[in-house]
């Protein structure tokens, strides 16, 4: 995540950042889709019994999503500026 934030900051400071930010947004959206898929795999199963390993996977995905969503908000704000 730090690498993405550093790259966004670098693009901000370069001035002509629209294409680069859009590329980062696409990359992060793919990451968001993957984490949301992980959560779906854990909780969309009607036979789910709540095993610890699955809950850990879902928790990890939620933590990552928090940072990915925040990154998208920053990238959106930069694109709107």
Query: Would you state the structure tokens that stand for residue 48, as one six-digit string?
Result: 């789910």
Count of positions (residues) in the chain: 81
> Are the C-beta atoms of 79 and 21 separated by less than 8 Å?
yes
- The whole-model pTM stands at 0.84
pLDDT tens for the chain, 81 residues long, are 789 889 988 888 887 678 888 899 999 999 999 999 999 988 887 666 668 888 899 999 999 999 999 999 998 887 776
Q: What is the DSSP string of 4-56?
A: HHHHHHHHHHHS--HHHHHHHHHHHHHHHHHHHHHHHHHHS-TT----HHHHH
């Amino acid at each position: 995540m730090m690498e993405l934030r550093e790259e966004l900051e670098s693009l901000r400071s370069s001035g002509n950042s629209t294409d680069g930010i859009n590329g980062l947004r696409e990359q992060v959206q793919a990451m968001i889709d993957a984490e949301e898929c992980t959560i779906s795999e854990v909780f969309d199963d009607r036979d789910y019994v709540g095993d610890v390993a699955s809950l850990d996977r879902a928790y990890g995905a939620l933590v990552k999503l928090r940072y990915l969503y925040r990154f998208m908000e920053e990238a959106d704000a930069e694109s709107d500026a």
